[in-house]
Amino acid sequence: MNQAIENQIRNFLSHHFPSARKKELGCREALLENGIVDSLGILDLVTFIEGKFAIAVADDELTPDNFYSIEKIALFVESKRPDSAES
C-alpha cells in the first residue's frame, strides 16, 4: 500500500476536522464511527481525493467500506488510479 497516500489523507483530515487534531489518527481507525468525520465531511474528503489524486468517485462507490478508515481510503484511491496497474 502507498504510505504517501495515507499520509496525505491523514494531513487533510488533521487540517480540516477538529476532532482529527485531538489525537493521532491510526490508519485503521473508524472515521465515521469515532466521530472524526461526519457525512458532510465525507463529501469534503471525496472532493479532496478527486482533486489530489486525479480520480473520479462514483455515487455507488461512496460506501462505508471504501471510507471506513485512512487505510481503506488509501486502498480505494490506489485502486482507482490509472497507474495502479504498474505498481
**pLDDT 10s digits, 19-63:** 888 878 899 999 999 999 998 999 999 999 999 999 999 999 999
On the CB side of 25, CA atoms within 13 Å amount to 29
Alpha helices in 1-87 (DSSP H): 3-16, 18-21, 39-53, 70-80
Is the pLDDT score of 87 beyond 50? no
CATH number of residue 80's parent domain: 1.10.1200.10
Burial class (CB in 10 A: 0-12, 13-18, 19+), 45: buried
Q: Which domain holds residue 14?
A: 3-18+27-85
d(CA 61, CA 40): 16
Domain count along the chain: 1
pTM: predicted TM-score of the whole model, two decimal places = 0.89
